[in-house]
Chains A and B, each alone.
Chain A
């Protein structure tokens, strides 16, 4: 019930504070980043944006044992092609290294890579691809795409707004889904919402240039 409600629910754009991830992480994991980025399609054309990873952050909100927390999705890369005045032909692709998720708690971080949660050994990456983008700079944009986690692919809508100045743009938005739809958190303790609630909200804050 909650799952289907979540998927069909109207999504609101929630602005997120500008990300402050340090550039040092990026250098240290440059090799892995290249591997992660290699999963993205090569986009071309005049509306292709280059993501500034040092100024971009993906976060998520979840509720564990009564604690509503915000974690970092860690290493990711994105490929974006978007004409802000004419978004229909645009594309958004993102790839996230699930082994680098930081849920801001040692126990959570110890468990997230395990089979019951992300099973990162078998499914190291999550991907998102949207090719149906509508909206405008004034009203904000809606991207309908497919999110793939743990080998399960489901439609997920991303709503976002863009503030652009010249060739630099900052996009902030949210996507919501249920972890249960992706078999994230299985096994006797997590099959239900007893300890960890189903709804997950991903917060996107991307700075890009073209």
Chain B
């Protein structure tokens, strides 16, 4: 029986987690800044990392769908298992949805600013999106609301992991932590 997440799953989990936290902080900082070449660069960097998150999350979703995750402990109550499932689906939805909303926002913006990933790779605008200020605003609000949601979900996620590790003392957290061997 599978008892740990695979190396690929663990790597993707922590990499995406770091990127999400960085993007949230970076997004808040750049939005609060006065216009400057630095602000512009931060926007471009935010877009670059956003696309990276989108691609990694799609890869992760494919991996998850083709590789079995270790089952939750049998001692876990049914409603907790359901909550875990819902929160994980929520994470996937937001990990993919937030960058998509950001991309759509950029694509709908009447001002055309070419997205260049890390100043090198030209990223196209989303097809079939009309240039409209209202549409841009809608996507922008969606992007922001979902970003707040994922941070809330992240806090719940960390709380749940700690609950499993310190209170329930099961292997739910350790199996996603590199090099931490589950208790025998």
Contact = CB atoms under 8 A, between A and B. Distances in A.
Interface of A is mostly: loop
A106 B116 CA distance: 12
A116 B37 contact: no
Contact of A194 (B34, B111, B112, B114): B34
Interface string B114-145: 10000000000000000001000000000000
Contact of B35 (A106, A187, A195): A195
Interface string A177-202: 00000000001110010110000000
A187 B34 CA distance: 17
B114 A106 contact: yes
Nearest to B131: A114
B110 interface: yes
Given A65-B40, A66-B36, A195-B35, A107 B113 contact: yes
A111 interface: yes
A110 interface: yes
A116 to B, nearest CB: 7
Contacts of B36: 65-66
Interface of B: 34-37, 40, 110-114, 133
6 contacts: A106-B114, A107-B113, A107-B114, A116-B110, A192-B35, A194-B34
Interface of A: 65-67, 106-107, 110-111, 114-116, 187-189, 192, 194-195
